[in-house]
Amino acid sequence: MSRKKITIIDIQSKKEQQIPISMLTAYDYTGAMLVDMAEIDMILVGDSLGMVMMGLESTVPVTMDEMLHHCRAVARGAKFAHLVGDLPFMSYQAGKYDAVHNAGRLLKEGNTDSVKLEGGREVAEAVRAIVDAGIPVMGHLGLTPQSISKLGGFKAQGRTATAARRLVEDALTLEEAGCYAIVLEAVPAPVAAAITERLHIPTIGIGAGPNCDGQVLVFHDVLGLYDKVQPRFVKQYAKLQQPIIEAFAAFRDDVTGHRFPEKEHSFSMSAEELEAFHQSLGE
Ligand code: KIV
């Protein structure tokens, strides 16, 4: 069967058909190509790139220009997955104009198919304005890393009845504002299940238990490439850090031991040209 580009209609019909949705992050051309070859439904160019690609302590300093740079690279590699671009901190919080303008840039200049932003009722107006401009919006509730200062660290959210109730209300508000899907990050499984049950749009969980409509993980976490922050909800499907270090060290040993490059890695020239070359050097 020939593969088709995945649309938000396909994503939403997966919820109706109870087919789980898969999403991974990617940040560059090669990574996006690999994720796309694995037939993952959605690729998120997450602002987590600030941490795993740029070595920052949080996602807060990530800029629109950095997001656009990575979105463009990912868009060249991902031909089938639905591509979501993350709106970075302060690209939508200050007002509707910023929100629409920057969401538009992610589609026009970043070649993404939709955008994601963090927050509940406080971003509903921004969501409505972006959707009215014709741009699909994915919400993000629970642990919202752009608000790390306010949350006091990377901690699970919605663990009291009041906080859980507020999350349900926020999810309903985002749906009503026009979001086509919502990421639920680090919230108790029963709370994510209650939200998923009440929404018509899909929930994509990360540390939100098995009852969401889909699951998302970070590229580097899945491959075991980044261990600076390792939340317990991460599942490593490979441990590539050590094999990569070993490959680099083997290269270093070959270079220092004069074993690389070998004949098959080198270019030659005809005997006549070589002779003429030596003569030109006066040899
Ligand atoms: O930036 C990101 O990678 C995210 C995912 C963790 C959902 O927001």
Tell me which of 28, 45, 54, 59 to substitute to probe ligand 1's pocket, judged by most ligand atoms within 8 Å of the beta carbon. Answer: 59
Report yes or no: 72 and 52 within 8 Å, Cβ to Cβ. Answer: no
Kindly give the distance from the C-alpha atom of residue 261 to the centroid of ligand 1, in angstroms, as a whole number.
Answer: 41
For residues 182 and 141, the answer to whether their CB atoms sit within 8 Å is yes
pLDDT of residue 1: 67
Which amino acid makes up residue 120? Answer: G
At 250 the pLDDT is 98
Per-residue pLDDT at 228: 78
Residue 227: what pLDDT?
79
CA–CA dist 274, 162 (Å, integer): 81
Cα-Cα end-to-end distance for the chain: 64
- 185 noted as active-site residue: yes
Residue 237 three-state SS: coil
Q: What pairs with residue 84 in β-bridges?
A: 44, 114
| Helix locations, the chain, DSSP H | 8-16, 29-37, 49-52, 64-77, 96-108, 124-132, 148-151, 161-177, 189-198, 219-222, 241-256, 271-280
Residues whose CB is less than 8 angstroms from the CB of residue 238 and which lie 6 or more positions away in sequence, other chains included: 222, 223, 224
Ordered mean pLDDT values, 10 residues apiece, the chain (283 residues):
92 98 98 98 98 96 98 98 98 97 98 98 98 98 94 93 98 98 98 98 98 98 87 94 97 98 96 98 94
pLDDT value at residue 230: 78
Q: Whose CA is nearest to atom 5 of ligand 1?
A: 46
Spatial contact of 120 and 166, defined as CB atoms under 8 Å apart:
yes
- Give the Å distance between the CA of 52 and the centre of ligand 1: 11
Pocket-testing residue among 218, 220, 225, 235, ligand 1, by greatest number of atoms within 8 A of Cβ: 218
Q: Compute the distance from residue 182 Cα to the ligand 1 centre, in Å.
A: 12
Please provide residue 281's backbone torsions phi and psi, each rounded to the nearest 5 degrees.
Answer: -90, 0
Residue 123 CB burial class (10 angstroms; 0-12, 13-18, ≥19): buried
Structure tokens at 120: 């509940």
Of 185, 246, 273, 283, the active-site residue reads 185
Residues with CB under 6 A from ligand 1: 25, 44, 46-48, 86, 140, 183, 185, 206, 216, 218
pTM over 0.85: yes
Q: Report the separation in Å between the CA atom of 27 and the middle of ligand 1, taken as the mean of its atom positions.
A: 11
